[in-house]
Structure 1
Amino acid sequence: MAQSHRQASRRLFEIAEQQQGFFTTKQAKAAGFAENTHPYHFQVGNWIREYRGIYRLALFPMADRPDLVLWALWSRNRDEEVEGVYSHHTALSLYDLSDLNPAKLHMTVPTDFRRNSDIPGILVLHYADLPATDVKMGQGFKFTRPLRTILDLIEAGTVERGVIRQALKQAVDRGLISRQQIRNTRMSGPARKIVEDVLRRVA
């Protein structure tokens, strides 16, 4: 029994390690923790309940942005696949491309994404089917690549153009976006105009 528990604990740690210490009830069951043991681990302080069906290992070091992993896990589908991708204002802040400090987390989810319960107030959901090439992996969460992030913000029209231009210039200067990438990317006429205007100034 002790060996079985150690093996389950090791498997759960391996899962949680990839998610900044977080895990779901389904992942705990897959690691070897029977569902009727979950309340015990919560009560004795081994696990911290962060949200319905989502826990964190109490002894795992706290990361800088645990919220990103928590809400990424909230977006998982029935197959335990994370569907949410941080985008727009949130992705821009992750690249440190502006002084924006959004109070809410912007997340893009598939167009067929559905939830039976209310959407948490911390989240602003955008609906789009993102190609894999527009998505980058973080530690336990996904976020849009720089060019996609900026194009999303242009199309949304929720950020001042000056902020957009500054972010695009910094992204090009830092090598996060290449001119070839811009040439090969489909975008609307207004977005293309803004992007090319910035490129002319970044000689």
Structure 2
Amino acid sequence: MPRSARQSAQTLAALAHEQGGYFTTKQAKEAGYGYNHLDYHETAGNFERVDHGLYRIPAVPRDEHDELIRLSLWSRNQKDEPQAVVSHDSALVLHEMTDLLPDRIHLTVPRTFRKPTPTGCVLHKAVIAEGDVEERTGFRVTSPFRTLLDSAQSEVSQEELEKAVANALTRGLVRRTKLSQAVEQNPRLSRLKAALGRIKANTK
């Protein structure tokens, strides 16, 4: 049974509120909006076209992480599923494990991802297990554990890495035993191993 205009509007509004005001063409279609409806509401100022296949409802207040939500939706595949996960330096900031303010947004995408890198972003290609991802409003971010593993293999300074590890351990975001197991199994985590050693020595 076709939805009424009111039902379609309510469905789309509820979805958009969960995504910082954003919605995709496919989501609008599933809510009951045709292309002619989208064009009408864009002309009327009810919808704002942000990118190809991506719109925003201006009446919805912008989320503090507006850009991360937009980039998540930008990364969607042909099934309309977001592919990007906020990671590395940007994830450190979200988890409040660093005081640094990165000048670029770091995202991890699947190895098969082919879209060009947006201005102001760094794309890392890797496989991320579902257990290493946390859901936020409108986007996903790597878990504190995965974030530290990624940071240990990035350009984050050793000093900042040690601060992040100490912060995560103190706040109970990660377990030392889990980090210790990871560094023993992966030789590429030598910087993380060194950080754990220094933190242990400093707490004696």
Establish whether TM, by shorter chain, passes 0.5: yes
The answer (yes or no) to whether the contact 2:12–2:28 under 8 Å persists in 1 is yes
Distance 1:137 1:199 in 2: 30
How far 1:123 sits from its partner (Å)?
A: 1.7
Residues 9-58 of structure 1: CA distance to partner in whole angstroms, max 9, x if unpaired?
11101211221111111111111000122121111111122222211112
Q: CA deviation at 1:183?
A: 3.6
Query: Percent identity among equivalent residues?
Result: 36
Is the CA contact (8 Å cut-off) linking 1:87 and 1:106 kept in structure 2? yes
Distance in 1 separating the partners of 2:70 and 2:135: 15
User: Following TM superposition, by how much is the alpha carbon of 1:184 offset from its aligned partner in structure 2, in angstroms?
Assistant: 4.1
Q: C-alpha distance in 2, partners of 1:87/1:47? A: 30
The 1-side partners of 2:94 and 2:137 are apart by 12
1:68-108, CA deviations, whole angstroms, 9 ceiling, x for partnerless residues?
Answer: 10000011111111110010111011112112111211000
CA RMSD of aligned residues (A): 1.7
Counterpart of 1:91 in structure 2 is: 91
What is the number of equivalent residue pairs in this alignment?
A: 198
Contact map agreement 1:151 1:191 (CA 8 A) in 2: no
Matches within 5 A, 1:38-187: 38-115=38-115, 118-156=116-154, 158-185=155-182, 186-187=185-186
SS of 1:20's equivalent in the other structure is: coil
Letter in structure 1 aligned against 2:126: A
- Distance in 2 (alpha carbons) for counterparts of 1:22 and 1:96: 26
Choose 136-145 or 16-25, whichever is displaced more. 16-25
Say whether the 8 Å CA contact 2:20–2:63 is kept in structure 1: yes
For the residues of structure 2 that align with 1:101 and 1:146, how far apart are their CA atoms?
17
Aligned-residue offset at 1:172: 0.6
User: Which runs of 5 or more structure 1 residues have no equivalent in the other structure?
Assistant: none
Indicate if the aligned counterparts of 2:21 and 2:60 stay in contact, CA closer than 8 A: yes
Counterpart-to-counterpart distance in 2, 1:202 and 1:172: 12
Q: Show structure 1 runs of 4+ deviating over 6 A.
A: none
Give the structure-1-normalised TM-score.
0.91
TM-score (norm: length of structure 2): 0.90
CA contact (8 A) 2:88 2:150 kept: yes
Rounded Cα–Cα distance in structure 2 between residues aligned with 1:202 and 1:41: 61
SS at match of 1:170: helix
